Amino acid sequence: MTRIAVCAPATPITREHAEAAERLVADEFPEHTIFFHDQCFRSAGHFAGTDLQRLEALVELANNPDYDAVWFAKGGYGSNRIAEAAISRMNAAARAKTYVGFSDMGYLLAALYRNGIGQPVHGSMPVSARSERGREAVRRVLRWFSGDGSGLEPSLDGKTPAVAFNLITLAMITNTPLMPDLSGHIVMVEEVSEHDYSVDRLFFHLANTLPRIAGLRLGSVTDVPENDREFGQSVEAIAKFWCNRAGFPYLGRAEIGHTAANRIVPFGLASPSTAG
Amino acid sequence: MTRIAVCAPATPITREHAEAAERLVADEFPEHTIFFHDQCFRSAGHFAGTDLQRLEALVELANNPDYDAVWFAKGGYGSNRIAEAAISRMNAAARAKTYVGFSDMGYLLAALYRNGIGQPVHGSMPVSARSERGREAVRRVLRWFSGDGSGLEPSLDGKTPAVAFNLITLAMITNTPLMPDLSGHIVMVEEVSEHDYSVDRLFFHLANTLPRIAGLRLGSVTDVPENDREFGQSVEAIAKFWCNRAGFPYLGRAEIGHTAANRIVPFGLASPSTAG
């Protein structure tokens, strides 16, 4: 069993989201328990509570030995504002945990990975439990907690360390105190709601700032807004162009992104859940 | 007189844009000449011609001793793809020139400034010459070419070096081979068409990657898209928040941005045009 605790380091979810996830766990994964911190439902402007409220909830759950995993409720934007402070307060219990989320949660996953704290994992989040398609993405994580690796990104080979990030999140992390050393890693990136030219611009930044990585995989790039003209290259052509310029091997696509097909990528060397 | 040559390192303008700028120069600034390179009107997907065509036009004009200034036709996106290659091919004539533009042209201004090539200048561009309001922004640059400093950003004191950038452009430049050393500089930033949360995210990156600057000034932040909820802080509060976290003095507003009021900021120590 995995004792899961949920907080929202960026934006809030509703009680209905939490209830849908609790029902799914009770009905289909009785081997796990799931606890939603009240902070998940707070609101302060854009965020799920003030920076201090989000920080305190995250540190409280991470440092509590009664939980095996912290599952981030939702992305959005805002975990970057508390990541460094949270890391500095984490204890031995925090170092024994699994942390699951993606998109904006990449700031936390990066900082945890940089500091060798627990097992950071790219994976879907409880916010998706209210829709039928989203529920399948949530089940994938719950199965992984049970030791079932069928939801892992299929290219993971257990030999080359891997990470997965939202493209703009990774670009914002580069050269900050949250940035892990990605030398020798396979780096998977996905994006949502960005123009093609913005994707090109973000790859320009990564091509010029990432270290010698083992290769890049492109996840899905969804909800691209209409622009006043066609960019003239597909997002895969953009990824290949910048990989060529940077000397990064382009390794093909990855099944990650803001879709129900979003697969699991444990940071580092892929393995079934160690929290199960 | 200033002999001005125009190319388009990012996106194209139309012949009508060029004619409007030519008319303005002929009617009101007969002391100057202005030449539009045919590359300004080319098109290749998003860009004003292929990377190679844009690169060749820029290097041709920069290296031609018959021109005193290169005025970039328009921003958009794309000068980052050719900036490094252009710099590596610039000759002595290029080093004696003034370069004017802003927004996406920040990639080139940064690279020129880093390499001590000519006088990079944040200023409005010929694309604005077709509207009555835009024409006043274009006149401001033409007056500056004539030695009239009335269009300079009013906070420039001639003692502290200054630069001006579009916010996302500067964030993308950090730690790349285009990045100048901004230690001790007043850094002015402006933004257009980005959500408040995106502005916050970009300041997070700059707060964690810029060196010890003399201070930050916030230009206009315009055309902010509607979000599904209010961010809860004004853009000035966002700028102050991150300046405080980074230890950068927040110096107030600057009259730069994607508006007709956009003032001139010569990079380094402000002075009237040296090309006049």
The pLDDT, as a whole number, for residue A274 is 47
> B83: distance to nearest CA of chain A, Å?
12
Residue from B105, B114, B166, B174 to probe the interface with A (highest A Cβ count within 10 Å): B174
The pLDDT, as a whole number, for residue A227 is 82
Using H for helix, E for strand and C for coil, what is the string for B95-150?
HCCEEEECHHHHHHHHHHHHCCCCEEEECCCHHHHHCHHHHHHHHHHHHHHCCCHH
The answer on pLDDT for A39 being more than 80 is yes
**Whole-angstrom Cα distance, residue B71 to residue B108?**
12
A-to-B residue pairs, Cβ atoms closer than 8 angstroms:
80
> B253: distance to nearest CA of chain A, Å?
24
pLDDT band at A90 (very low <50, low <70, confident <90, very high): very high
Cβ contact A172–B45 (<8 Å): no
pLDDT band at A270 (very low <50, low <70, confident <90, very high): low
| Residue recorded with tokens 């900082």 | A111
**Whole-angstrom Cα distance, residue B276 to residue B271?**
12
Q: What is the mean pLDDT of residues B151-171?
A: 96
| Residue recorded with tokens 């907690």 | A145
| This model's pTM is above 0.80 | yes
**Whole-angstrom Cα distance, residue A175 to residue B174?**
9
Residues of A within 8 A of B209 (CB-CB) are 174-176
> Which stretches of chain A sit within 8 Å of chain B by CB?
44-47, 77-78, 80-81, 168, 171-172, 174-178, 196-197, 200-202, 204-205, 208-209, 227, 229-233
Q: Dihedral angle at the C-alpha atoms of B49, B53, B58, B63, nearest 10 degrees? A: -160
The pLDDT, as a whole number, for residue A229 is 83
The share of chain B scoring above pLDDT 90, in percent, equals: 93
Q: What is the mean pLDDT of residues A228-243?
A: 94
Cβ contact B172–A197 (<8 Å): no
> B188: distance to nearest CA of chain A, Å?
19
> A133: distance to nearest CA of chain B, Å?
23
Tokens of B100: 């004017």
Backbone phi, psi, residue A164, to 5°: -135, 135
Q: Angle at Cα B62 formed by Cα B56 and Cα B67, nearest 5°?
A: 125
Let me know: does A74 contact A8? Beta carbons within 8 Å. Answer: yes
Which residue is closest to A83 within chain B, CA to CA? B204
**Whole-angstrom Cα distance, residue A147 to residue A33?**
15
- The number of angstroms, rounded, from the C-alpha of A260 to the middle of its chain's C-alpha atoms is 14
pLDDT band at A225 (very low <50, low <70, confident <90, very high): confident
Give kind and range of the element (H or E) at residue B250: strand B250-253
Order of strands across the sheet that contains A119-122: A33-36, A3-7, A69-72, A98-101, A119-122, A265-266
The answer on pLDDT for B1 being more than 60 is yes
Q: What is the CATH number of domain A2-151?
A: 3.40.50.10740
The answer on pLDDT for A244 being more than 70 is yes
CATH architecture classification, B162-253: 3-Layer(bba) Sandwich (3.50)
Q: What is the mean pLDDT of residues B92-110?
A: 98
The answer on pLDDT for B272 being more than 70 is no
Cα separation values, B7 from A94, A199, B39, B138, Å = 56, 25, 6, 16
Instruction: Tell whether the torsion through CA atoms of A35, A72, B209 and B197 is positive or negative.
Output: negative
Residue B95: CB atoms within 10 A of its CB come to 15
The string of pLDDT tens digits covering residues B2-24 is: 999 999 999 999 999 999 999 99
Contacts of A223 (CB under 8 A, 6+ apart): A192, A193, A258
Least confident of A7-16, A44-53, A267-276, B224-233: A267-276
Nearest by CB to A176, from B172, B178, B208: name it: B208
Residues of B within 8 A of A230 (CB-CB) are 45-46
pLDDT band at B220 (very low <50, low <70, confident <90, very high): very high
Residue B269: CB atoms within 10 A of its CB come to 12
Least confident of A202-216, A260-274, B26-40: A260-274
Residues of A within 8 A of B14 (CB-CB) are none
Q: What is the mean pLDDT of residues B102-109?
A: 98
Let me know: does A255 contact A219? Beta carbons within 8 Å. Answer: yes
The share of chain B scoring above pLDDT 70, in percent, equals: 97
Residues of B within 8 A of A176 (CB-CB) are 204-205, 208-209
Length of chain B: 276
Residue from A14, A197, A210, A224 to probe the interface with B (highest B Cβ count within 10 Å): A197
Q: What is the mean pLDDT of residues A128-149?
A: 96
This model of the complex carries an ipTM of 0.95
> A131: distance to nearest CA of chain B, Å?
20
Residue from B42, B43, B52, B77 to probe the interface with A (highest A Cβ count within 10 Å): B77
The pLDDT, as a whole number, for residue B69 is 98
The pLDDT, as a whole number, for residue A276 is 39
Cβ contact A174–B171 (<8 Å): no
Contacts of A131 (CB under 8 A, 6+ apart): none
> B205: distance to nearest CA of chain A, Å?
5
Residues of A within 8 A of B80 (CB-CB) are 201, 204
Cβ contact B201–A168 (<8 Å): yes
Each domain of chain B, given as residue ranges in start order, spans 2-151, 162-253
Tokens of B55: 């690169």
pLDDT band at B275 (very low <50, low <70, confident <90, very high): very low
The string of pLDDT tens digits covering residues A143-194 is: 999 999 999 999 999 999 999 999 999 999 999 999 999 999 999 999 998 9
Cβ contact A229–B46 (<8 Å): yes
- The number of angstroms, rounded, from the C-alpha of A256 to the middle of its chain's C-alpha atoms is 10
Cβ contact B231–A204 (<8 Å): no
Instruction: Tell whether the torsion through CA atoms of B35, B38, B43 and B47 is positive or negative.
Output: negative
The answer on pLDDT for A219 being more than 70 is yes
Q: What is the mean pLDDT of residues A61-82?
A: 98
Maximal C-alpha separation, chain A: 54
Burial of A48 (0-12, 13-18, 19+ CB in 10 A): buried
Cβ contact A201–B172 (<8 Å): yes
The pLDDT, as a whole number, for residue B229 is 83
Question: What value does the mean pLDDT of chain A take?
Answer: 96
pLDDT band at B270 (very low <50, low <70, confident <90, very high): low
Residue A223: CB atoms within 10 A of its CB come to 11
> A68: distance to nearest CA of chain B, Å?
31
Q: Give the CB-side neighbour count of residue B101, counting CA atoms within 13 A.
A: 29
Which residue is closest to B241 within chain A, CA to CA? A81
